[in-house]
Structure formats: structure tokens, C-alpha cells
Chain A
Amino acid sequence: MVNGNFAVGAACRIDVPAHSRRVATIPVGLDPEGVAADAARRRAYVACSRSDWVTVVDLEALEPIARVPVGKEPIDLVFDAPTGRIFTADAHSDTISVVDAETLTLVATIPVGGYPSGLGYDRESRRLYCGNSLGGTMSVIDLDSLETLATVEAEIGAGAIELDRERRIILCVNFIDASVTFVNADTNEPFGRIAVGTGACAVGVVPERGEAFVVNSVAGTVNRIDLDEVRVVEELRVGEAPVGLTVAPAHDRVYVSNRGAGTLSVLGVADGVEWTQIPVGDGPGGVTVDPVDGRLLVADAGSGTLTIVEDLLAGRPPAPALEDPSPLLGKRLPAFTLVDHTTGEQRSSHEWAEKRYIVNFFASW
């Protein structure tokens, strides 16, 4: 398969040192997912879904400085600078937690639908949007009064949400349904639905191009969507199991976190080509850009860390770097003895001797 001028396929591409610089790897808690930057306080807030807290990271000292308990399994997180509030979508509480960034205390809890897993934010219109996966709805919340203004029908697996502020369109991405629901941001009325790839779970908008990019984790693709025609126009390849996305401040590239590869893809907006992959922590998820210094903040669900890296690429490189294939290829699989989840017994790789099989590493999150 050829994507642009770069051949892609079984070989993985990976960053070379000239493409990025690792600034820090900071322990934050179990299964960190959502991350947001607070420019004024020079902080990052990280939702640690299995720890049920938000970790506060000092972006100057590059160390955690506080943990704030929130609801159960906080997945996504946004920060509202005008009110200094942090919002988390608590998937197992069916709530949004509201934390005061000044006092670092929980100040309110907003009931929403079943399994809230994604948040969208409109600073100017003072709206917070929440995708409720189980019921397939989107809650519309007033950022100042914290009142729920509407509950909009989406599709099962509703999660990630982004806005096209120019066109006044809300895009609600539905993981299970593998679709995007289009909603009028002024009336909160849905007006369209398009099918995307399997496991759709993140979205970003480049308004001046009239385009959105939707990440499909199971399909391993990114869909480019024409927002005027409300249709998918291109399918792009990135790394293994992509799950998170943010648009670069210059809007010339998007960053896609690859949960299956431990990397961040740098995907060109105009050419649709993956420029490189930047190594981060294990099983990365949420990603954002620090608006002060442009550094990338990546929540690594597998390693329980926040990785801070700099993208050093001025533009598309002459060629992507190729990662050496796994050193295990062509060699014997190292032996294992592990506990069987069902029986509690020790199981050894010797049981599968002389059999062909697939080992699938997974995590329940």
C-alpha cells in the first residue's frame, strides 16, 4: 500500500532523534487518559482513570504537585480558563466532576448519561459537551451555571466531541456505531450522520480547510471529513491502534497517539501523509499541546506517565525513518509461565509446543 509518496505496510516507521526531543516522563497514576494544559498556572491536568483522581503536573518543575479525587474512572478532561475549572467525564459514575483549579477541590458534580467518556469544549459560547456512550446521547452543559441545557440523541458509543466554530457544527463521534453525528451548535439539533471506521474515538477540526479528522482505533485509520459536504473524503494510515488526536497550533499537522505502538504519529494536514512517529510512553491515549511552549503532552495509559516531547519537524521530512523490525522475528518466543484468569492455575508456554498460535496482549481499558 502506498500513502502519498511513502510506502507503508508491515514495517513500522519511527522517529529519529532529529524529529523530536523527549523533555520528561512523569509518573501520574493508573491509566491516565485525558490531559489538558493550564497556560496561566503552567500546569497540566491528567485524568487517571483507574486511580479516580486528577494529577496536577507543574510544567516548569516537570513534576506532579497534587492529586484531586474525582468520580469513578475519569476518562476525558477539559480545562476552562475563564472560570479556572477542570471538568472530568467519570465513566463509572455517570457524572462530570468539576474541580476548582485554584483550590484544587471538587466543587460540583453534574449528572449526565450512561458511561460518559468524551468531552467537547466551546469557550466562547460557554458550552461543555459530554458524550454518553451507553445511551448514545450528548449532554449540553452551561459552563458557568453548570446546568444541563439539552440532551441530544447521538448513537451508541457516543464519546469524543469537537466543534467547528466557524460553521457552528458539533461533531459527536460514536465508538460502537462507528459514526459521527453532526449537530447544529445553535439549536442543538442533529442534522446528519456519516459512517467512519471501526472504533472511532477521537476527532479534531481544521476549520479553515473545512475538514475534520476522525481517529478509528480498531480500523487503525484516520478519516478525513469534508465538513461542508458532510462526507468522508479520505482514509489515512497512522500507527498501530490510534486512539487520540489533537490539531497542531499551526494547523499544518495533527498528532495521533498510537495505543498499540507507544508512539505519536505526526500526520500532515495538507498531504495526509504520516511524517514520522515520535516515541512516547506505553499505550498512549490523550494528547494536547502546551500553548505556551508548543510541547506535546501525552498521557500514557500503559506506563502511567505523562510524556512531554517536542516535535522538531519544520515540515514534512524527505523520508520517514523506518523502525527496525522486532528483534523477536525469526527467533523463538521466550518461554512464559503465567496465571490463567479462569482457573487460577499456572500455565506454561510448553503447553502450546508444536502448535501454531497467536499471543494477543490486551488491557481492559
Chain B
Amino acid sequence: MIHIDIWEGTDPKPEVDRFVEMWGLKGTILLDETGDYARTLGVRGVPTNVVVDADGTVRAFGVSRLDELDRAVDDMLKT
């Protein structure tokens, strides 16, 4: 899991630290301070999840609900 923080507006460091502690976030955490990368992908809201296959292909986009995300991951693992 790669987490990418976007749209903070202020210094993201303390805000992300607080968020990570509160929600027990695990995995790599990257900062997209300008939001440019999110914009490139057409991200319109948070959370947005992007499921990526081993060859770099996007298999699912959006899927913010846990059941949707589980289903998208299951589908990817079947391929």
C-alpha cells in the first residue's frame, strides 16, 4: 500500500503525523504537495484508491468502500 497525501494547503508534516498516529496508517507515505500527480490521475476526492497490477496496469480506480476495494484486489489476484 502506498499512501499519497494531497490537498493539505499547509505544512503537511505535522498534519500527516497526527493522522498516521490517529488511524494507525501503515506502509509508504508520500507527499503530493502540489496535487499535480493527483490531478494527472483525475482524482476528485479522498479517499481514492488505485489498484495496480504487476505490469503497472490500473485495474481499479476510486473504490473507497472496503468491500469494493476487497473485490477489486480479489479480481486482480485472479488475473
Please give the residue numbers on chain A whose beta carbons come within 8 Å of chain B beta carbons, in ascending order.
Answer: 10, 12, 30-31, 50-51, 218-220, 240-241, 258-263, 282-284, 301-304, 325-334, 336, 338-342, 347, 349, 352-365
Closest 3 CB pairs of A and B: A262-B44, A30-B9, A326-B61
Which listed residue (B6, B30, B62) contacts A326, Cβ 8 A?
Answer: B62
* A116 CA / B21 CA spacing, docked (Å): 20
Which listed residue (A325, A336, A360, A363) contacts B37, Cβ 8 A?
Answer: A336
Mark each residue of chain B from 1 to 18: 1 if its CB lies under 8 Å from any CB of chain A, else 0.
Answer: 111111111101101101
Which listed residue (A283, A303, A328, A338) contacts B4, Cβ 8 A?
Answer: A338
- Known A262-B44, A340-B29; contact A12-B52, beta-carbon cutoff 8 A: no
Which listed residue (B19, B31, B60, B64) contacts A240, Cβ 8 A?
Answer: B64
What chain A residues lie within 8 Å of B54 (beta carbons)? 354-356
* Complex contact A357–B52 (CB within 8 A): yes
Beta-carbon contacts under 8 Å, B44-68 to A: 44-66, 68
Min C-beta distance of A120 to chain B, whole Å: 25
* Complex contact B2–A240 (CB within 8 A): no
What chain B residues lie within 8 Å of A218 (beta carbons)? 66
What chain B residues lie within 8 Å of A51 (beta carbons)? 9
* A328 CA / B57 CA spacing, docked (Å): 8
* Complex contact B2–A357 (CB within 8 A): yes
* A330 CA / B7 CA spacing, docked (Å): 27
Interface size class of B (residues with CB under 8 A): 35 or more
> In this complex, which of A31, A51, A339 has the most chain B Cβ atoms within 10 angstroms of its Cβ?
A339
What chain A residues lie within 8 Å of B64 (beta carbons)? 220, 240-241, 260
- Known A260-B64, A341-B16, A360-B1; contact A30-B10, beta-carbon cutoff 8 A: yes
8 pairs from A and B in contact (CB 8 Å cutoff): A50-B8, A241-B64, A282-B43, A342-B29, A359-B50, A360-B2, A360-B3, A361-B49
What chain B residues lie within 8 Å of A355 (beta carbons)? 54
* Complex contact A359–B2 (CB within 8 A): yes
* A262 CA / B48 CA spacing, docked (Å): 11
Min C-beta distance of B78 to chain A, whole Å: 12
Min C-beta distance of B50 to chain A, whole Å: 4
* Complex contact A333–B40 (CB within 8 A): no
> In this complex, which of A51, A326, A342, A349 has the most chain B Cβ atoms within 10 angstroms of its Cβ?
A326
Min C-beta distance of A327 to chain B, whole Å: 7
Min C-beta distance of A60 to chain B, whole Å: 28
* Complex contact B10–A362 (CB within 8 A): no
* Complex contact A358–B50 (CB within 8 A): yes
* Complex contact A31–B9 (CB within 8 A): yes
Min C-beta distance of B55 to chain A, whole Å: 8
* A355 CA / B60 CA spacing, docked (Å): 15
Min C-beta distance of A10 to chain B, whole Å: 7
Which listed residue (B30, B46, B56, B72) contacts A302, Cβ 8 A?
Answer: B46
What chain B residues lie within 8 Å of A353 (beta carbons)? 56
CB nearest to B58 among chain A residues? A328
Which listed residue (A327, A340, A359, A365) contacts B52, Cβ 8 A?
Answer: A359
- Known A50-B8, A338-B4, A357-B1; contact A333-B52, beta-carbon cutoff 8 A: yes
* Complex contact A362–B76 (CB within 8 A): no
- Known A241-B46, A261-B45, A334-B40; contact A363-B31, beta-carbon cutoff 8 A: no
What chain A residues lie within 8 Å of B53 (beta carbons)? 356
Which listed residue (A220, A259, A304, A358) contacts B9, Cβ 8 A?
Answer: A304
Is residue B42 within 8 Å, beta carbon to beta carbon, of the partner chain?
yes
* Complex contact B68–A10 (CB within 8 A): yes
* Complex contact B58–A333 (CB within 8 A): yes
* Complex contact A326–B42 (CB within 8 A): yes
* Complex contact A260–B46 (CB within 8 A): yes
* A91 CA / B47 CA spacing, docked (Å): 22
What chain B residues lie within 8 Å of A364 (beta carbons)? 5, 8, 12, 15-16, 18-19
